[in-house]
A and B are shown apart, each in its own frame.
Chain A
Amino acid sequence: MYERYSRQLLFSGIGENGQALLQNKHVLVVGAGALGTGNAEILVRSGVGNITIVDRDYVEWSNLQRQQLYTEEDAKQQIPKAVSAKERLEAINSDVTVEAHIADITPAEMEHFAQGVDLIMDATDNFEIRMIINDAAQKYSIPWIYGSIVASYGISYTIVPGTTPCLHCLIEGIPIGGLTCDTGGVISPVVQLVVGHQTAEALKILTENWAHLRHELLSFDVWTNERSTVNVEKLKKANCPSCGTEPMYPFLRQNQMKSEVLCGRDTVQIRPAANENRDLNMIGERLSKLGKVHQNAFLLQFKTDHNRMVMFKDGRVLVHGTNDATEAKSLYHKFFG
């Protein structure tokens, strides 16, 4: 059964001991976009025993250029990314148990998903969720690996509770002002490079090769050929609310109805305060009198002459065709109550 891992067994950093360790580990991958699909595929091929992957979105044509687990059929059918990723990952390696969830992780869900996990891979596209990951990772003492990309630029840092500064030490709050909403696009090579750095660190952590961790904040631009590694240990703050001597985990303490403009997509996501499963059939029947309804097992799309909205079973709605949160909220209330 080890034949498929033979090249990894020959590698002195992993070997048979490392392979056995990998098989007993559980990794949570938050996000199944470009970084999420790349990270998950490498971890699954490497033989990590358990993978949980969580994503809030469905596959679109604009994803196919860089999100390596998806096909044209997924985009045509608007399959949720978590569902499609799970199917593809299981086809790649049936030894691995893959659990998939369609969700926009709330703080409470983050605490739930973090239970029993050895490592968290950040493959998200915004700092709100990263700060929630950061607090949960500190609270339950789980290492996590920040990764992010924009245009031809990539950045990654490995956060080990009790040892390194945490994300809150480094950025002191959620950055606002278009950082995640990039209009410069993104190219696939930078995805692969960040994934490579994230998964190399992941394999070191999972095989308990702690001494080989990079310890530096890494950033690079593959187009302008800039590269930098910076030692940020000095930025660890004793009074940090997330990892200091008296931690408060501030980002685990919020739960309310939220609207959020999605990165470069002309889309606003509305997330109701209560996470309740909705009866899509009933809602579809009602809305079919007001516009065009298209449904699959996971979501419902509703189109009027002016708007397109997608509701997921967990009650979230993506309002397409606007970047205005107020307009999106009013459309949400108009059609979904």
Chain B
Amino acid sequence: MQLLINGNMTEIPDSIKTIADVKQHFQISNPVVIVEHNGEILEKDSHAVQEIANGDKIEFVQFVGGG
């Protein structure tokens, strides 16, 4: 399956079903990450149930602290 992640078309295994799976696949362990899925901002508790499909557009925005 292909996803457009942060502007880059990316191939991922078909076993990945939800946003939480995608986060795990890319090892995004940052607890403070905002996810936009096909133009819609997701509430944090919906990551585990939000299903993805081929061609979806996903933006991950990670909050960092340095300055």
Contacts and interface: CB of A to CB of B under 8 A. Distances in A.
Given A153-B62, A228-B7, A231-B41, A148 B67 contact: yes
Nearest to A124: B67
Interface stretch (A89-97, A174-182, A320-328): A174-182
Interface string B32-67: 101010000100100000000000000111111111
Interface of A: 31, 33-36, 122-127, 130, 147-150, 153, 155, 170-172, 175-177, 179-180, 182, 186, 217, 219, 226-228, 230-232, 234-235, 263
Contact of B7 (A33, A179, A226, A231): A226
A148 B62 CA distance: 11
B61 A123 contact: no
A149 B34 contact: no
A177 B30 CA distance: 8
Contacts of B24: none
Interface string B1-29: 00000111000000000000000000001
B6 to A, nearest CB: 4
Chain B interface SS verdict (over half)? loop
Given A226-B7, A228-B7, A230-B41, A155 B64 contact: yes
Contacts of B60: 228
Contacts of A172: 44
A180 B41 contact: no
Contacts of B30: 175, 179
A219 B61 contact: yes
Nearest to B59: A228
Given A153-B62, A219-B61, A122 B34 contact: no
B6 A226 contact: yes
Contacts of B34: 170, 217, 230, 232, 235
Contacts of B66: 125, 148-150, 180, 182, 186, 263
Contacts of B29: 177
18 contacts: A34-B67, A123-B67, A127-B63, A127-B65, A147-B67, A149-B67, A153-B62, A155-B63, A180-B66, A186-B66, A227-B7, A228-B36, A228-B61, A230-B59, A232-B34, A234-B41, A263-B65, A263-B66
Contacts, number: 86
Ranked 7 nearest A-B pairs via Cβ = A180-B65, A150-B64, A125-B67, A226-B6, A175-B32, A150-B66, A35-B67
A235 B41 contact: yes
A177 B31 contact: yes
Given A123-B67, A235-B34, 19 more contacts: A31-B67, A36-B67, A126-B65, A127-B65, A149-B64, A149-B66, A149-B67, A150-B64, A155-B61, A171-B32, A179-B30, A179-B32, A179-B63, A180-B65, A180-B66, A182-B64, A228-B7, A230-B61, A234-B41
Contacts of B44: 172
Nearest to A123: B67
A147 B64 CA distance: 9
A170 B63 CA distance: 9
B63 A175 contact: yes
Contacts of A176: 31
Nearest to A128: B65
Contacts of A231: 41
Contact of B65 (A36, A150, A226): A150
Nearest to A130: B65
Contacts of A226: 6-8
A60 to B, nearest CB: 16
Given A177-B31, A230-B41, A232-B34, A125 B63 contact: no
A98 B7 CA distance: 42
